Structure 1
Amino acid sequence: MNFIPFLIICPLTFLAGLVDSIAGGGGLISLPAFLLAGLPPHNALATNKLSSSIGTTASTVRYCKHGYFDKRLTVPSILCALIGSTCGAHLVLLTSDTVVKKLMLVVLPVVAVCVLTDKKEATQVAAFSHRKRMLIVCISAFLIGIYDGFYGPGTGTFLLLALTRLAHMDVRTASGNVKLINLSSNVAALFTFLFSGQVLFAPGLAGAAFCLAGHYIGSGMVMKNGTKIVRPIIIIVLILLFIKVISGN
């Protein structure tokens, strides 16, 4: 790594943290940041996990301090997320760089549409039995954990959709459990990538620092219609990534 890639990684991961704190979907910027900086797909995925794990830890601690999560769902959902994410990370390590690049051209725009069109509206809390809710949450944690280990961007949005619309949890409680599940899947994937030697610490830690700064500033901003800023940023970054992937440079 020379100095130039950091000029790409640092501002974009800062924007990723800012976007994530406003409307979610920061992974749609942070992963392309490492790819645009020239990291090979596997290194980019692994290094992005380092920075995202640190950022997710900060927001998870905040939620837990306020008790915004269902304690009964915590342990089983975390275990499912750990198993699923580990499987996903091992699977992507078995996938060639060429295939991963092609998948990005399909998956990234689909995830972007899901994140940008999700209204995150509160749903009516249904009178679910604890056992039924536990089953839905654990299955969601496992399946979305696989996706997070394999790829990642949009995981928080998909988890929130599953917990509110399928498990019928209230948004505030669901958000806390989402943070715990997402952190667990991030850590599982990170350790898998660490043992495989795919993580690049210099860009990863630099990205983490700027991502945290973006989270801090974004969370302190009182913004209405934040998606008006979020959408153009995500679209511009994805266009730049598409140009890079298609050109092969």
Structure 2
Amino acid sequence: MEVFLLLMALGMVSSFIGTLAGGGGIITLPAMMLIGIPIQYGIATNKFSSGIASFTSIIYILKNKIFTVKALLPVVIISVLGGIVGAIATTSVSEQTMNVTALVLLAFALFVTIRNKKWVAEVKEKSFNQKPGFFSKLIPFFIGIYDGGFGPGSATFSIIHYMREQFSYVQSAQLSRVLNFGSCVGAFVIFYQTGYINWHYAIALAIGSALGTQIGLLALPKIPLKVARTLLISIICMLIGQVVVKTF
């Protein structure tokens, strides 16, 4: 029972942070390992709980008519495919290679975020009425691959991507949850086949994650953009630190 409650609290905190700026995995996986949960079970459990939490985000988005089903469906489909590819890729790509890749991507994300201050002062609301370019469609697929096979920083990458597409910070964070849902579903389908799933852990983490996500979604519109930018940069720096420690 103690572990169940601890995992609920862990899921709530990590999902709250993850909803605002990504990086919830900084907390979740290391904490589960400290509790004594094997890494294989931790990854599968995290994908399940993140998928459930992100699904509640989609319900929130649709209920509040922020985006339509028609607009979100392509994001879900392409990220599901990415998640499947990413989960399969983990069987043939070494952890060292994934860590180095993550380090390069996170360093680039940090550079882009620090360099681009425009979104803090001028946030332009945007919808999916404008047809995205081919490259814009590919990026969510690659983020899905990364999230499905590795994960740290994927939500942060999503937020940065959508902000560069001229969505507001709030919209970008919301869309990152949609993308995360798809990649988690795709990855979980693969990880489930391996048998690395403890439903006791998964349900506890999922309940906490769903609660944390809903609190985060409610808090999103109330966060000043300068604070959001600072939080985003801080999360990226912590992710870089975590990956550096794991790699070297």
Q: Is the pair's TM-score, using the shorter chain for normalization, greater than 0.5?
A: yes
Within 1, Cα distance between the matches of 2:104 and 2:206? 21
Deviation string, structure 1 residues 79-127 (Cα, Å, up to 9, x no partner): 221211101001113456xx3698399759948x84xx6787454579x
Q: Which runs of 5+ in 1 are unaligned?
A: none
Within 2, Cα distance between the matches of 1:214 and 1:8? 14
Report deviation, 1:137.
3.4
Aligned residue pairs: how many?
239
- Paired position in structure 1 for 2:51: 53
Name the amino acid aligned to 1:15. V
Within 1, Cα distance between the matches of 2:242 and 2:176? 30
Within the candidate set 194, 198, 201, 1:200 is matched to: 198
- Paired position in structure 1 for 2:28: 30
Within 2, Cα distance between the matches of 1:147 and 1:95? 12
Report deviation, 1:142.
0.9
- Paired position in structure 2 for 1:191: 189
Residue pair 1:125, 1:168 contacting (<8 A) in 2 also: yes
Within the candidate set 99, 123, 134, 1:103 is matched to: 99
Instruction: Summarize the Cα distance change of 1:238–1:178 in structure 2 as closer, same or farther, 3 Å threshold.
Output: closer
Within 2, Cα distance between the matches of 1:237 and 1:169? 24
Instruction: Summarize the Cα distance change of 1:148–1:23 in structure 2 as closer, same or farther, 3 Å threshold.
Output: closer
Report deviation, 1:134.
4.5
Within 1, Cα distance between the matches of 2:61 and 2:198? 29
Report deviation, 1:77.
3.0
Instruction: Summarize the Cα distance change of 1:199–1:71 in structure 2 as closer, same or farther, 3 Å threshold.
Output: same
Q: Which runs of 5+ in 2 are unaligned?
A: none
Within 2, Cα distance between the matches of 1:130 and 1:229? 29
TM-score, L = length of structure 1: 0.71
Percent identity over the alignment is: 25
Name the amino acid aligned to 2:12. F
- Paired position in structure 2 for 1:63: 61
User: What secondary structure does 1:93 align onto?
Assistant: coil
Within the candidate set 11, 14, 20, 2:12 is matched to: 14
- Paired position in structure 2 for 1:81: 79
Residue pair 1:14, 1:212 contacting (<8 A) in 2 also: yes
Within 1, Cα distance between the matches of 2:216 and 2:24? 12
TM-score, L = length of structure 2: 0.71
Report deviation, 1:217.
4.9
- Paired position in structure 1 for 2:147: 148
Instruction: Summarize the Cα distance change of 1:100–1:219 in structure 2 as closer, same or farther, 3 Å threshold.
Output: same
Instruction: Summarize the Cα distance change of 1:206–1:147 in structure 2 as closer, same or farther, 3 Å threshold.
Output: same
Instruction: Summarize the Cα distance change of 1:90–1:59 in structure 2 as closer, same or farther, 3 Å threshold.
Output: same
Instruction: Summarize the Cα distance change of 1:207–1:104 in structure 2 as closer, same or farther, 3 Å threshold.
Output: farther
Within 2, Cα distance between the matches of 1:108 and 1:35? 25
Report deviation, 1:27.
2.5
Within 1, Cα distance between the matches of 2:243 and 2:200? 21
Within 1, Cα distance between the matches of 2:30 and 2:240? 7
